[in-house]
Amino acid sequence: MKLLFVVDPLASLKPHKDSSVAMMRSAAARGHDVLACEARDLFVRDGIAQAPCATLEIGAGDDWFRVAHTEVLRLKDVNAVVMRTDPPVDIDYLLATHLLGVAETNGAHVLNRPAALRDFNEKLAILNFPQYLAPTLVSADAAGIGAFLAEQEDVIVKPLTEMGGTGVFRLTATDPNRNAILETLTRHGTRAIMAQRYLPAISEGDKRILLIDGEVVPWALARIPRTGETRGNLAAGGSARVQPLSERDRRIAETVAPWAQAQGIFLAGLDVIGDCLTEINVTSPTGFQEIEAQGGHDVAGDFIAALERNFARTVRP
């Protein structure tokens, strides 16, 4: 197969931890052609979505790629387009999904589906599964959030468009900075944010559970907050611990999996704290390399094998 990865600049990817690098290495090891471009490279000419695509030679170590050659290709002429650009989901990201939507109309196989990337905000998607949620409020009204805080006494507040723990705060009812934090996050009442009851189980980790084409990866990556920190995100200094799914983890994942598959979400990363679902990540879920390093499970191999099965279904007469 010829696989095109739409990624952030290749030189910015960390080969020892980036899941996109793991995908590309696995694809190359299985004999597939690996191509890459950036979202800003996408263009449409006369109704056909195209991009200058770099064909990569993939290796090990820090010097993990070499560009063999670059040529402009129609996206419909590759076997799969894998959208792996990191958030924030800003106007540039959304415009890229529209161009990928044109590619899909042309006949390209894009995953996750561009419409799903637009429709399912990673924070708000959990609202489809209220049975697994902690008390949650989404609002731009600081007074309403303040009332929720008074009721719950201890909450997490976070913006709806960021990743890696950016803009996440823990607030208590007596926090002297709460008004300033809420004014800043809501942009003085003009932008909705999410508030959730604080879950003490975060001390045992913010668990990342991966879904690939409707199948549940049997290992979770628990991201443990460092001392004095609320956020478990690895980008915020959390440590990684790989562990088997609990019965509750699996129940949540098996509930979400068929929904995700039906929405065209080929790869999803569920975030679970204790018994509660807190996010459904659809843009560029990570954790592949940590799970393989500690648990011995080849997640990237699962991902490419699922792509191969998916491709076989689409070409079957």
Residues serving a catalytic function are 123, 158, 208, 223, 231, 271, 279, 281
Tokens linked to 133 = 């949620």
- 83, two tokens: 């959208």
Question: DSSP E strands: which ranges in the chain?
Answer: 2-6, 33-37, 43-45, 48-58, 65-74, 80-83, 110-111, 136-139, 154-158, 169-172, 193-197, 206-212, 215-224, 239-244, 267-273, 276-281
Helical ranges in 46-196 per DSSP H:
91-106, 114-119, 142-152, 178-185
Give SS3 for 175. Answer: coil
The C-alpha atoms of residue 256 and residue 67 are separated, in whole angstroms, by 38
Structure tokens at 218: 């049997």
Quick one: tokens of 206?
């913010």
Distance between CA atoms of 224 and 242, rounded to whole angstroms?
11
Rounded alpha-carbon distances, angstroms, from residue 115 to 188, 218, 267: 30, 28, 14
- 147 touches 195 (CB < 8 A): no
129-134: Cβ within 8 A, 24+ apart? 129/252, 129/255, 129/256, 129/277, 132/252, 132/255, 132/275, 132/276, 132/277, 133/196, 133/276, 133/277, 134/196, 134/197, 134/199, 134/273, 134/276, 134/278
Residue 66: beta bridge partners?
A: 57
